[in-house]
Amino acid sequence: MLKSCIYRGVAAALWLLWLAPGPALRAQTTNVHARWEESIAAFEQADRTNPPPKNAILFTGSSSIRMWKTLAQDFPQYQVINRGFGGSQIADVNYFIERVVLRYEPRLIVLYCGGNDINAKKTAEAVFQDYRTFVETVGARLPNTRIAYISIAPNPARWSQIEQVKAANRMIEEHARGNPRLAFINVFPHMLGPDGQPKADIFLKDRLHMNEKGYAIWKDVVGEFLRAEAGK
């Protein structure tokens, strides 16, 4: 019987080794995220020079956060940290979550990400699942931290993807509605004109990223949410 147990144990160990990703696959997975290593290292260097406070409001996600240069100026009544890195998908934020989110121990996380995911041909369901991974990871380490998700924004450059954008927003909004730790900040309708199309004058020439008029809209909508949060 002892021999039988040993054999079963060895077989199980070999099975797990077979399932485990090999060095090539692990390297490939790591290399997918390597393009942001310089940006993440720059955050860490900035933290060493000027350590940010704990219990602040952390903004993270893709280029719309990274390019929000007036973030601290727009919300002077709050301690805010900007840890956006351009071109990122939610999976990238999850990969670097220890270094760009958890280490700061924020009281509130404002996440904007998902548009690049859909542009990379991910489905709305895949975006939602990556968002849930983010929520669960934060919850396991920082159970008292709130998470607010800024809806994926409409823009002229990616208007052909709008149905997937709407679907992802809808799933995330519905999920947030049932969880007191979560919130959904809906900037989507505020960025559309009377014709139901994105307002042309709130974007840069690339028709993707916002100009100062676009960020003024976000300042109003996000600011309203932050004021409501402060009043709780």
| Domain extents in the chain | 52-230
Which token pair is 55? 């219990």
52-57 LR contacts (CB < 8 Å, sep 24+): 52/79, 52/81, 52/104, 53/79, 54/104, 54/105, 54/106, 55/79, 55/105, 55/106, 55/107, 56/80, 56/81, 56/104, 56/106, 56/107, 57/81, 57/106, 57/107, 57/108, 57/109, 57/110, 57/226
Lowest average pLDDT, out of 32-41, 119-128, 168-177, goes to 32-41
pLDDT surpasses 70 at 74: yes
Q: How far apart are CA 9 and CA 20, in angstroms?
A: 17
Residue 76 in contact with residue 115, Cβ under 8 Å?
no
Give residue-wise pLDDT tens across range 2-39: 444 444 544 444 434 434 444 443 444 457 788 999 99
Please name the fold of domain 52-230: Rossmann fold (3.40.50)
pLDDT surpasses 80 at 173: yes
pTM over 0.75: yes
Tell me the backbone φ, ψ of residue 142, rounded to 5 degrees. -130, 70
- pLDDT value, residue 24: 43
What letter does residue 207 receive in the DSSP assignment? S
- pLDDT value, residue 30: 54
pLDDT surpasses 50 at 91: yes
Lowest average pLDDT, out of 8-12, 80-84, 126-130, goes to 8-12
- pLDDT value, residue 232: 63
- pLDDT value, residue 34: 87
Number of neighbours of residue 184 by Cβ within 10 angstroms: 18
